[in-house]
Each structure stands twice: as C-alpha cells, then as structure tokens.
Structure 1
Amino acid sequence: MEVKENKIDIGGKTVYYLSYERGNMRNFILLHDSKQRSDSWAKIDALRKIGQWGFNVYAPDLPGFGNSEQNEKYNFGSSPSKGASFIKDFAEKLYLSSLNIVGPSVSAGVALKSVIDSPELTNSAIIIGGLGVDHILNELNKIEKPVLILWGTRDNIVPIDHGQKYHDLIASSIFVRIDGTGHCIQLEKPDIFFNNVKKFINNL
C-alpha cells in the first residue's frame, strides 16, 4: 500500500491532498503550518506510519498553499473558523468521520475549532506549538473531546506557557513538554512525535 496523490473539488476550487487508506472508519487528518504543505508529512513518512496503526490518513494542502487553489471562504490565516469550515467540507466530501486532527503551529486553532464546531465528526485533536488559538480562547472550555498538546521546551516562536494556558482551559487535554526541541517537534524529532501520538491514541 502506497501514499497516493489526489485532487478534488471543494467549494469550486481544486484541493490537493495525500492519502494512505486502509478502508476502515478511523481517520487522521494532518494539517500543515503557514510555511509548509502536505509534503512535510511525507518527508517523515507520517501517512504510512500512522496508517499502519489502523487508520486512513489524509494530508491536504490547505487552500492557497502548495497545489491547492486559493479560496477566500477557507482563508484559515484570518480565522480558525474558516479553517474549521474547510475541514468539515473536506471530511464530508470524502465521507469521513471519527477524525483525529493534527494541527501544528498556526493550524492548531483550526484543529481545536473543528472539535468545537463539529463534535459529531471529530474524535480528538493533537496540537503542536499552537499558534492561532488566541482567537478562540473563550471557546476552549467547550471542548470535551481528548486533546494532546505537544510543546518544545525551546520553542522560540510561541512560548511554552501558552501551551500551559491552553491545557488549563481544556479539561480533557494532556500537556507534554518535549525537551530540547523547538517549534516543529514533528520535523525535529519525529520518533518522539510518533511515540507520543501513538500513546495518546491507544489510550482513547
């Protein structure tokens, strides 16, 4: 089984995504930050590795990034709500439910807002050095689904105390500090990232 490249139409625009499908009902969606795209996950073999735990795995280029066309409706940079709307439409287009959404950096707000807005579609959220969360701070206490918060102790983009704040506001969250890593734990120390995610998922 191989990772596949795909293109679909969402909201009248082309969306490119990578997929590793096992044909079951459990799904991961891997988001990227504002400086990367879906292939950042392919470089660490994330789709296949997570897929082999028994999941279908999808890594879209968010609208306006990589090979996906710009669509103002989903401009997540201006609003986590718009990003969450894209996740919902992407999931419905592919008939996906039971979503575990990984949101690094600026996509963290999208992942958390998706859990808030679409609890019927989502199973959990995993955020890494979360940016874009301050817009929805007053909504974090609504989250009841499990959330894993990963933060590098050497993150010089977003201080680690932000992660502690989010953990305090989300009763269902787990906060893990990763020693010696910066803002992009998944790229800097992928083995540690995978181990933490697998432990989290196995305990759900």
Structure 2
Amino acid sequence: MFITFEGIDGSGKSTQARLLADRLPEALLTREPGGSPGAEEIRRLLLTGDPGRWSAETEILLFTAARRDHLEKTIQPALEAGRTVICDRFADSTRIYQGATRGDLRARVDRLHALMIGREPDLTFVIDMDPAVALDRGLARASGEDRFEAFGLGFQETLRHGFLQLARDTPGRCVVIDGNRDAQAVAEEIAAQLATREGA
C-alpha cells in the first residue's frame, strides 16, 4: 500500500507520517522532495535560498525530476517487495504549491505527472490546520528549509484551500484529518481510518 501525507507547512504531517510508520514495522518511511540520494540533492536546491530563486515552472520541473528518481530508486522497489510505503508529500504538493497557487499551471503539472510519474497513492491523509498556527510552528523549527514559509500567511491560506479542494475532488483516496489537536489524538484517528480502509 502506498500512503501519503499532505498539508500546509507546519501542519504536523511529517510527525504523523512517522507515528504511522512506528505502528507498521514493515513500512518504509520516506519524504519528498527527497527520499533517494539524487532527489535529496534536488531538495536542497528547492527548499533553501531566496523565495524568488525559482519560477513556478522551474520548480515543477525540479520536483518532477526528484520524484522520478525517488519513484525509481525507493518507492517502486519497496512496493514490489511487498512493503507499505509511507511518504511525507508526493505529487499532490506539486499540484497545489505550483499548480494552483503560483499561476494557472495545474494542467501542466498533471500532464507532466502522467508522462513522467504515472503513479498515484492508494491513500492520502490531508492534515488540515489553522494556517497561522502552522506557519508559526514551521518558522519556529528554523530548519533552514523554510523557503516556502517565507512566502507568508496569505500563501499558506491559499495552500490550505487548495488541499481541501483536492480532497473534495478525490474522495476515493483522500481523507481530511483535523490537525488542530494533540498529535496522539490525530495519530489515533489516522490509524482508525487506515484500519477501516484495510478492512473494506
């Protein structure tokens, strides 16, 4: 099973991806951009530096290149070996960050995805959270990978609306989870949702 976590910066999706992986000993936990040596190199280019460093079009190409390497080197081999793959972000992030919020580029993102990736998750958890709280949390990490947080609150609010619309458009695979709670409570709901899907 290929499970992804999506949401705005600072929403807690990385924590939830890790907590779910802790519950599933056979699972492979990975992330985007990154998850393979080549993709991790591209990650540094994308997440550091000035907010205006890349155009949205260039970002789409860089994210897709990283995703292709990640798919070839990490995700597909694990799935073929019968492992569950849990990924912190995947193509939905590119659809929203570059496709829906930084110009009318969604159609280009989808075409490039179909051409070069051609794989969707089996299940996506969208962690929904107050953008102001999430932004404060994301900036407080001071990870150095805060290029997208630097676009400000308005950008995060637009992202949130984009993710919620995506979930409405793809109810067969997306489950919206309220992230404005204690991390353990969120994790319990995610585990319950997964058990329901597995039992279906």
- Structure richer in helix, relative to its length: 2
TM-score of the two chains, using structure 1 as the length reference: 0.45
TM-score of the two chains, using structure 2 as the length reference: 0.46
Q: Which has the higher contact order (CA 8 A, sep 6+)?
A: 2
